[in-house]
Structure 1
Amino acid sequence: MEEKEDKGFVVKDRRKVAREESEQPEAAAGPETAGKEDREAEAKGERAPSGEESRHVPLPEVTLATFVFSLSSSALVHLGEVPDPESQSVRVDLPLAKQIIDTLGMLQEKTRGNLDPDEDRLLKTVLYDLRLRYVQKSGK
């Protein structure tokens, strides 16, 4: 009995994106060779940056602190404390701000006893500040 080799799955990007001139020869090479280097790098655990990605500033390392700051920034946007980074408009969306604050509270409960002292202090401080701002905005 002959066994078939498991080939995994194939992901095809069907978005319509205008390609740069430097990318056009790759597209003309055909689907079997287009992106071959990206797939090989991805299989090795490396990732070759595409033209668009190479122009962006590298993202910070994902740590608990960066995750907490990210959620905190989103909550501040929804509390109307800082402008939305994309539209530069200031809007207040208290239910969404509460959702994010509650998510941080859940994170605090679920990680209790597993954080180092700095992480614990950061989470407590951020939650205290966001909850205080929420109460002030909501008038409760």
Structure 2
Amino acid sequence: MLQRSAMMHMGMLQDSEGRVHYNLGETKAAIDTLSMLKAKMTGNLTPKESTMLNGIISELQLQFVKAPSRQRALEDQVAESEAVRETFTNPQEGPSEIIADEEE
């Protein structure tokens, strides 16, 4: 559950309504909670459980570092699609290229 929450708040998973969220504070809290649980359960986990938990925490930490660039890329993509949509819905107001005649 904490892994899924962290992944959702890093924009890696969509919520139940299909939206993507970026909330790195929530992500950090989930990763910190998993790390705290790992520390508290030292000696009570099987080697397989310990390996799995270490892998989950490591992967979440790696994705946490990459999350801001993913967020910027998504925001750029949304802005670009908005500009294209504006061009087709309101051509007079949308972005345009000026083509100058070389002879003028």
State TM-score, norm by structure 2.
Answer: 0.63
Please give the per-residue CA displacement for 1:90-124, whole angstroms capped at 9, x wherever unaligned.
Answer: 01110000000000000010001110011101100
- Matching of residue 76 in structure 1 with residue 3 in structure 2: no
Output aligned runs, 1:104-119, within 5 Å.
104-119=34-49
Percent identity, aligned pairs only? 36
RMSD: 1.1
Q: CA deviation at 1:135?
A: 1.2
Task: Number of aligned residue pairs: give it.
Answer: 69
Output aligned runs, 1:89-104, within 5 Å.
89-104=19-34
State TM-score, norm by structure 1.
Answer: 0.47
Cα distance in 2, alignment partners of residues 138 and 110 from structure 1? 30
Cα distance in 1, alignment partners of residues 25 and 60 from structure 2? 13
Residue of structure 1 in register with 2:53 after alignment: 123
Higher relative contact order (CA 8 A, sep 6+): 2
From the two aligned structures, give the one with the greater helix fraction: 2
Tell me the secondary structure at the aligned position of residue 91 of structure 1: strand
Q: CA deviation at 1:138?
A: 4.1
Cα distance in 1, alignment partners of residues 59 and 42 from structure 2? 19
Tell me the secondary structure at the aligned position of residue 81 of structure 1: strand
Output aligned runs, 1:42-57, within 5 Å.
none
